[in-house]
Chain A
Amino acid sequence: MSALRTPTGGRIDRSRKLRFSFDGRSFDGFAGDTLASALLANGVHLVGRSFKYHRPRGILSAGSDEPNALVAVARDAARVTPNLRATQVELYSELRAESQNRFPSLGFDIGVINDVVSPLLPAGFYYKTFKWPAWAWQRLYEPAIRAAAGLGRAPTLPDPDRYISRFAHCDVLVIGAGPAGLAAALVAADAGARVILCDEQAECGGSLLAETAATIDGWPAGDWVATTLATLAANPRVRVLPRTTAFGYFAHNMVGLNERVTDHLAAPPADLPRERLWQVRAAEVVIATGALERPLVFPNNDRPGVMLADAGRTYLLRYGVVPGRRVVIATAHDAAYRAALDLHAAGIAVPLIADLRQTATGDWPEAARAAGIRVRTGAIIATTGGRRRVAWAGVAQPDGGTIEPVPCDALLMSGGWTPSVHLFSQSRGKLRFDAEAQAFLPNLSVERERSAGACRGVFGLTAALADGAAAGEAAAKAAGHGGARAPRMAVTAKAFGGGGLLGPAAGTAAKHAFVDFQNDVTAKDIGLATREGFRSIEHVKRYTTTGMATDQGKTSNMHALGIVAAALDVPLPQVGLTTFRMPYTPVTFGSFAALSRGDLFEPLRRTPLHAQAVAAGAVFEDVGAWKRARYFPRAGEDMHAAVARECVAVRSRAGLFDGSTLGKIEIVGADAAEFLNRMYVNAWSKLGVGRCRYGILCREDGFVADDGVIGRIAADRFHVTTTTGGAARVLALMEDYLQTEWPDLDVWLTSVTEQWAVIALQGPQARDILAPFVAGIDLARAAMPHMSVVEGQVCGIPARLFRVSFTGELGFEINVPADHGPAVWQALMATGAVTPYGTEAMHLLRAEKGYIIVGQETDGTATPDDAGVGWAVARSKRDFVGKRSLARASMAAPARKQLVGLLTEDPNLVLEEGAQLVDDPTQAPPMRLLGHVTSSYYSASLGHSIALAMLSGGRARHGARLFVPMPGGAIAVQVTAPVFYDPEGARLDA
């Protein structure tokens, strides 16, 4: 048994010994230990190195406010987590932890050179130097600074663990399961409210877990906690979440909780996630987050062995660990007397309580004196001594004089308590500074919440329990569950109040007097910042980095405020307060991402014909959320070979294409045609039933938003198609106008994108191939000309058959209910006469015809006229979306970019899409850019390359010779009309 364990007591399970390692050395601890308590029990105080000066650091606290004791825990090569607080890491068998930010070892760290030259490295030193020569910052200084900075090492392998997210609603969310929180939850649940109670620690109970003297309703504190938790557990309306941190308070009473599910387990079950992220929408919230003890600011207050008083007491009483054999107490608050008395009672020598206050009276100091502990008031701690562990405390008078060295192996300190107002402040509640408590306390609420207990300055067990009970009652009532009565609890406990010190005691030297331990910010640094004109606390924070470490200033912020206020000689509230931001303590990225990974990162959309494409060997591309078949390579083919073959097949026989991703909107109603007239640039009233028209949709600013073929199924029914990526956007735009501008129109819009499978059958043999499969449809040219639509049957399935073409060939688009798509596809494939082709061949075929793709030829700055589809605009219409914008003078400027074709002088050269056009390739940058290549392919059908481009004044430049500047030299091109294949359209009308 370790000599540093108490013989009995505490909440550890002495029957379950756990072996663990720290920096490769093996140790033993007990179930119920944290890594910190187990290390202390083994006499290990040196556990880390500070960020900037690499000073040796020990364990300061016993909770989530720990700035020093940061470790990496590795379960295996991939499950490495850096920067964990040893005070929060629960011990499990074979836990492996490593110290951080040291090289080559924790005991001997060459980074400590920074401490030696620290006079050269005051706050903000890097702003003042490293400016010459210009290249050296990035190549020399910055890499050196970066290597010295940082804390732990990031994991290097993908994290195999799972995370999930949960949404929850409740009447009352109670944050913090200390005395106030437990009382609040108990009362609210009793009133009939649905309650969620969460606490960041492994065990609920808060300060009661280290309470050995007090009783509640006659129960010892620990037993009262157990009874209360049993009562809550038996209530089906209550959910208790330990190991769960309320990390953020969001608008409209939503609170984010991070639950750590398996990190404390030696062998996490595979069916459990590592963490859960809860988003709780609560009718009412009770914040019972307690208070954090402040250190004292004095020279060399950062030596291992120097610890917060209540942390020392917690290790003793909750974990059965002796923080030292000879413990000096330094304090500006009564709380440390309680620690001194508990240590004394445990047989630990307490040679001195150095009280920084001029007088120390009242119950606690008197009790200490009565116990025979020496109390020296009006003292300061002038320094401490010792190498890797404190060996003596130098006690002195504020006005100087001799330093009394008091030998010790631990120094417990208390500067008073800082209420944890983080979540209240995140909720946008207004704080006020309470001079008596020396603290900011909740004042005006904004959300539906109330604070209870120490987090609102109500200290002492008796008061906290009563305050929590009252808050629970009020919250339940506000959530509609009145009638409960907060019970009166009989408590025996001695209380203490607020107060304490903000900043160092008068007469204390500022050098090496640490305020922010992790970031190595001293009182001297803060003084320097104020001298240099940084007067707002936000400036001081940013200049010195105080409060910016991983503890976000939990132990340091109030001291920094005190120092700045003193330096500027202004009241503390006037200095301001840095904003409290989420998260309260760091939260794992994976917890936010939860299940959004892999295929669930974003929903994957597959067409009804996806399986057919897979079977045909398709290579897919992502288009929006869709997977589309890009090409169908046969053995030995690359993309170009496959695409060339597919194109030739379409031009010579017939090809089959999955067009199901096209957006489809059914527009129905007496005013359907009028609605289309107002939305699209085209005229629709005269479109006959059974006929189709190519429609262009502009935004109100006059630029092309979308296009697609629209068929008139009946006088009051249109089948509208949109681009694949534009479907949702177009429907939203239409709904917007219909609902808010023209609610008088009798029109109904329905998205039918996923209802129809669309199979394009394109090529000179299309009609012959299709003929045997149709019923009730006359495919003859006269009966079904280009741009027509008819309802009938294909393969015995009700279908809408369009005669349309995006290839320039005779073509049909067969729309059948989605489930029947595969049958039709397979039937057509079984003819052996068709070749499946993908989006790449489709793009090439349409480019040969000069058909634009919205989003490729156009980019959101092109008008219909720019894109070469100005013919579609029905100028005689009184109005349509975008019409007024098209009337602006700049929209008709001759220099606008217009769609043209390009032919390279070398017919085999394929231009790069995105390449620029210039008239003089010899000019120096910045060149006068005339336009750019939008689409470019090698056309196997034509035997040469083709390209489409948007070119300034392009239509007036047909025949001109221009150049495409490339890194290897300029490529000469000739400007042409954008139609390369069958310009008369004879094949379409075949």
Chain B
Amino acid sequence: MRYLKNVSTLTIDRKKCTGCGMCAVVCPHRVIKIAERKAWIIEPDLCMECGACAVNCRENAVSVKNGTGCAYGMIKAKLKGSSEECECDCC
């Protein structure tokens, strides 16, 4: 299953990347592959911006605006003017 195209905020700074491969390991959608000792985004449209890759990059080479992607939570945050995070009871 695929979601909307060209929306993922995932980027990798290949100057900082040492090719340790941790980002590729933790990605639950196999978005990243290691080749020539660097990380490459091979399936950007499969990215759900969970942030596992960025959290586990010790070089801070990976960046992504992460979140849970919960419409309910976003609407609630908009209405209450609070920070955009999932605060509903749905998970």
Partners in one complex: no
A→B interface (CB under 8 Å): none
